[in-house]
Structure 1
Amino acid sequence: MPILKHRLLRLVALARRYPGVIAAFGFVSGVASFFLVDRHEGFARIIALVMLLGWVWLVLERMLSEMLLDRFGLRLPAPVLRYATQLIHQESLFFALPFFLASTSWNSGQAVFTGGLIVAALVALIDPIYYRRLAPRRWLFLTYHTLTLFVVLLVAMPLILQLPTARSYELALGIAVLLAFPSLLGSITVPRWWRGVLVVGLMGALAATGWLARLWVPPATLRLTDVALASRIDDAQRAPADSLAEIDAAQLAAQGLYAYTAISAPLGLQERVQHVWLHEGREIDRIALDIRGGRKEGYRAWTHKQRFPENPAGRWQVRVLTGDEQMIGTLRFRVSGMPAGG
């Protein structure tokens, strides 16, 4: 056992001496996992499982440390535990970040969420900020810890369990809130009889915030690979025959308009998505579609809208949403003029 302890301490000393190596490893392995997911189904699930096992260690860290001490007389040095936690944060964020970068609608509130993930990943790489600014502030570290677990679950659960995005979001939020319980309990120092009530209240607030914020959270395992608004669809090619940014009201009334989307979902995921048509910010129509992932180019689907308001002129959007309202992307176009007889 002294040999094992000596090697652990030596490993920590090397990590302190070459901190950039660990940071680079976390970044490269995270980005590599994103590209490997689309190519190797089995490897994708292994990566996701490793990420979740790392979080099991963090949740059970104290208990496992006590078991090592009781059974083998080995006490893990505090620096080893700190570096293990930091490494798991690095690996988790850089594993999840490429998925969110690819699926973010940058002209929406999702840019705020993904921007926050970028900042969180950089914090995990910069030791002075991580250890001196983040770690000593218990409430801030708990928030950081819970966010990191949440984003890992959002990516890992669809890959491992083949769950739809909406279901994955619900489970990821529930698990993250549940696993935050021990940390919340240890962070609150009010009198004992108040502590339970306050912890339950905070967990409820955390769950409510996560649920209301789902519109700003990109669907990590779904992304648009092609979009178009077209006057007709080439059925043989399953592709739009043209691409429009503006259409005349008379043509719109005569032909209608197709909203074409190709949605990539890795490993054959099955999803129900919606095309939501909005005119000047007001919802006009909502059409549901079932998609099946697996094609690198994305699953191709379209809706054909033929009934429009009497005066359709102005700005239009077609929002592509998951079943629980997470935004996959947005198409925008403008209608000019008035329909015949208007």
Structure 2
Amino acid sequence: MTIKALVARLFDTGSRFIRRYPGVVALFGFVSGVASFVLVDRQAGLAKVVALIMLVSWVWLMLEKPLRRAIHRLFGWDMPPPLLHYATQLVHQESLFFIVPFFFITTTWHSGQAVFTLLLGAAALVSLVDPLYYRWLARKRWLYLAFHSLTLFAALLTALPIMFHLSTPQSYQLALVIAVLLAIPSLGALFPYRGWRRGLAIVGLALVVGLCGWFGRTWVPPATLWLTEASVTLSMDDAEREPGQSLRELSEAQLRADGLYAYTAINAPRGLKERIYHEWWHDGRRVDRIALDISGGREKGYRAWTHKRNFPPHAQGKWRVRVVTEAGQMIGVLRFRVTE
């Protein structure tokens, strides 16, 4: 049997199997995606392999048409549409079920980040349910392109810090640029007319999408950074790097006696070095912003704290310490109240 005949037989067998057992594809995407997250959490080296597979699969997806032409030219065989459709769906499932656990862990749920994460969860559900994916999503070109871009953007946010040890702001900027650039050829389908107006409309829409993504970054969780422990306390054991008793309420006299510590342990990928900030807010107004440098790799999170002594004359009321990245993405928040 020639190579050409063997490839044709393999494609045909795969196509018939997928048409006969479509649920197996969905189950495989779900199980492999969740397993990838679990393995990433256990083995940093394997995390890079999983992330690389994700990015390669997305490159393949973006180059689907040229690859189809290349296969036809080399082997004289057209890939059946059902096989391509299921392959695309599998990439979406694998990517979404790999990244959704990261975002569910890192989301601060009483903030706008909940909207982005719930949107990803809804996208994962749509990719798993064939009637929703094929009869509702795939038939609406603009909706399918939005779904595609959202998944790619979230996958890059998760993969880039793991693979290249990029900081969260660097990863966000690069992921946004890549997602917008790769979406430009697809945006052309939204404008049927030709000429310079079409090109101008495509570029304008791409810029709008990019600006919305940049100014909406505070609504996007930092996919690979999350709090493993956090507390507001009156004392710290510097030698053991352990906080004292965690407080939810304290008097102004206690506050002014020796200041207050905000302690956080932050999980980050191995090799990642990141600058974060503790932002101290009093009754809705920011009164201080203190920088901290953290390093990834510690299983229980990198332990760091800020010690604030300088408080306003009237410190009573609601306080919160927002833990944020340099790009303004919130990792978590600590809340406490100062009484008389």
What TM-score do the two structures reach when normalised by structure 1?
A: 0.96
CA deviations 1:132-164 (Å, max 9, x no partner) are 100111110000000010011001111111101
Cα distance in structure 2, aligned partners of 1:184 and 1:225: 41
Match of 1:207, as an amino acid?
G
Q: Secondary structure at the match of 2:327?
A: coil
Match of 2:214, as an amino acid?
W
Contact 1:259–1:303 (CA under 8 A) maintained in structure 2? yes
Contact 2:25–2:86 (CA under 8 A) maintained in structure 1? no
Match of 1:194, as an amino acid?
R
Cα distance in structure 2, aligned partners of 1:16 and 1:209: 39
Aligned to 1:183: 186
Aligned to 1:231: 234
1:222 CA displacement: 0.5
| Residue 64 of structure 1 pairs with residue 60 of structure 2 | no
Aligned to 2:270: 267
| Residue 243 of structure 1 pairs with residue 246 of structure 2 | yes
Match of 2:141, as an amino acid?
R
1:268 CA displacement: 2.5
Aligned to 1:80: 83
Cα distance in structure 1, aligned partners of 2:268 and 2:40: 11
Q: Secondary structure at the match of 2:139?
A: coil
Aligned partner (choices 291, 294, 297) of residue 294 of structure 1: 297
1:2 CA displacement: 4.1
Aligned to 2:321: 318
Q: Where does structure 1 lack aligned partners over 5 or more consecutive residues?
A: 338-342
1:36 CA displacement: 1.5
Aligned to 2:10: 7
1:301 CA displacement: 0.2
Cα distance in structure 2, aligned partners of 1:215 and 1:24: 33
Aligned to 1:54: 57
Give the % identical residues: 56
| Residue 93 of structure 1 pairs with residue 93 of structure 2 | no
Aligned to 2:148: 145
Contact 2:33–2:98 (CA under 8 A) maintained in structure 1? yes
Cα distance in structure 2, aligned partners of 1:279 and 1:17: 61
Cα distance in structure 2, aligned partners of 1:319 and 1:46: 33
Task: Detail structure 1 runs of 4+ shifted over 3 Å in the superposition.
Answer: none
Q: Secondary structure at the match of 2:270?
A: helix
CA deviations 1:267-312 (Å, max 9, x no partner) are 2311000000000111000000000010010000000000111111
| Residue 212 of structure 1 pairs with residue 236 of structure 2 | no
Match of 2:223, as an amino acid?
A
Q: Secondary structure at the match of 1:227?
A: strand
Cα distance in structure 2, aligned partners of 1:239 and 1:35: 28
Cα distance in structure 1, aligned partners of 2:116 and 2:318: 26
Cα distance in structure 2, aligned partners of 1:115 and 1:317: 25
Contact 1:89–1:124 (CA under 8 A) maintained in structure 2? yes
| Residue 276 of structure 1 pairs with residue 290 of structure 2 | no
1:3 CA displacement: 4.2
CA deviations 1:164-216 (Å, max 9, x no partner) are 11100000000000000110123321232210000000000000011111101
Aligned partner (choices 168, 172, 175) of residue 171 of structure 2: 168
Cα distance in structure 2, aligned partners of 1:123 and 1:41: 30
| Residue 43 of structure 1 pairs with residue 46 of structure 2 | yes
Contact 2:276–2:293 (CA under 8 A) maintained in structure 1? yes
| Residue 121 of structure 1 pairs with residue 147 of structure 2 | no
Q: Secondary structure at the match of 2:315?
A: coil
Contact 1:38–1:267 (CA under 8 A) maintained in structure 2? no
What TM-score do the two structures reach when normalised by structure 2?
A: 0.97
Aligned to 1:27: 30
Aligned to 1:340: none
Cα distance in structure 2, aligned partners of 1:69 and 1:4: 11
1:9 CA displacement: 2.9
Cα distance in structure 2, aligned partners of 1:152 and 1:292: 22
Aligned to 1:103: 106
Match of 1:246, as an amino acid?
E
Greater Cα offset, 37-46 or 4-13: 4-13
Q: Where does structure 2 lack aligned partners over 5 or more consecutive residues?
A: none
